[in-house]
Amino acid sequence: MKIFRNLKISLITFISLLLVVIVALMGISSNSSCDTDTSVSVVNSADQKQTALSLASSLKKVDSATDAGISAYLGNTEAESGISSTRIESDATYDEAKALNLSLSGYAFGFNQWDKSRRVDLINYAKSQNKSWTDASLQLDFALNHDGANSDLLKQGLQMGDVSEATEFLRAKWERGGVGTTDKRISLAKKWYTLIASGASDNVAVDVASDNNAESKNEQSETENDVGCSTNTVSGMGSSGASVLEIPANYKNKVTDTNFTATSSTNTYPINQCTWYAYNRMQALGTPVDNAMGNGGDWGASAKTKGYQTSNKPQKGWAVSFGRGVAGADPTYGHVAVVEAVSDDGSKFLISECNAVKPGTGTISFREITLGSGMTFIQGKK
């Protein structure tokens, strides 16, 4: 009887321990089913669409994320940075002391223009991972998993089912900025929703950087411009605002310096942006301009403040700053280009520009612009 009793006690003990293990395993399984898949890999592409679809592909791994919520994120991200992980507010250059200043505002970084303490948190997280803060995958990982309570707000927005509601939620609660830009953000979000809902992000390669050379060989007849210019390179001969890749015949004898691809080692503007090209071109023409003049639409005011000669009439070899929304310029950042020639009556002028055809690839294109308001012409330094 004593042996039977000991055996019974041992059996009960074993069953109890087994139950404890089973319950613990069930708890782990339950918790795991609610976790977000935090493995993200975003393509660092010069092409905005490719980057956006790569972001969408990673965001689809988030538990209960919807196409509407993902599109809302992309709409806000485009409004904030043009979907550029390297963007610093006002096209400023990187300054370590400023970047790590917790109280400094107006110096926002990355896809979602993190500022003040969130900017510092992003930089410190990047350092802890031995990566650059500009790394696209790191920024999405930071947003989803390492931005404190803000990460929870982002996931909440990603789970919403209405594009407009999700966009405004993320603007107001997660971005906490962009007052007065709701309509623009919703419009951008709906554009991305059309693509994502069609399955465009389902087969996007997200583990390697884009080959810009291969991308530039793609069909160029219809393109989108992240500085607000919708262009079609087969819709005209550079007149009426249509972008073309060759100097129009009626201007060829007016353009004397055709070294449009010259670059400068002193250029600190974001590569392949309109500001980057305008700086390079003015340098090549022997009439340089300064770094840190802001977004394209800010160059007019900056030039006046810095003492440059400016005019409201086009002059060959001068830069031209387009106000926000002027001549197709982005409604948030404006645009800047270089005047290559002026029509005989002065009513029209030809510009060379970057980021109007195949955005982000450095493609140089030309447009004939009709003179109007909101344009400031800037003479470079001699």
- What CATH number did the domain enclosing 76 receive? 1.10.530.10
H/E element, 378: strand 375-378
Task: Establish if 31 belongs to a structural domain.
Answer: no
Helix (H) or strand (E) holding 344: none
What is the predicted pLDDT for the residue at 132? 87
pTM recorded for the entire structure = 0.49
With respect to residue 22, please indicate whether it lies within any of the assigned structural domains: no
**Within-domain flag for 320:** yes
Answer whether residue 299 is part of any domain: yes
CB 101 within 8 A of CB 118: no
Residue 164 lies in domain = 48-197
Instruction: Give the Cα separation of 150 and 36 in Å (integer).
Output: 15
- Looking at the structure, do residues 53 and 160 belong to the same domain, yes or no? yes
Question: Per the structure, how many domains does the chain have?
Answer: 2
List the CATH number of the domain containing 374: 3.90.1720.10
CA distance 321 to 37: 45
**Are residues 223 and 112 both part of a single domain?**
no
Q: 351: which strand partners?
A: 339, 367
For the stretch 169-223, pLDDT in tens is: 999 999 998 899 999 999 999 999 999 988 866 655 433 222 333 333 333 333 3
Same domain for 175 and 71: yes
- Residue type present at position 382: K
Please report whether residue 372 resides in a domain.
yes
Torsion sign over Cα 169, 172, 173, 175: positive
The answer to whether the CB of 375 falls within 8 A of the CB of 312 is yes
pLDDT of res. 202? 64
Both 227 and 281 in a single domain? yes
Show the low-confidence residues of the chain (pLDDT under 50): 2, 4, 27-38, 205-240
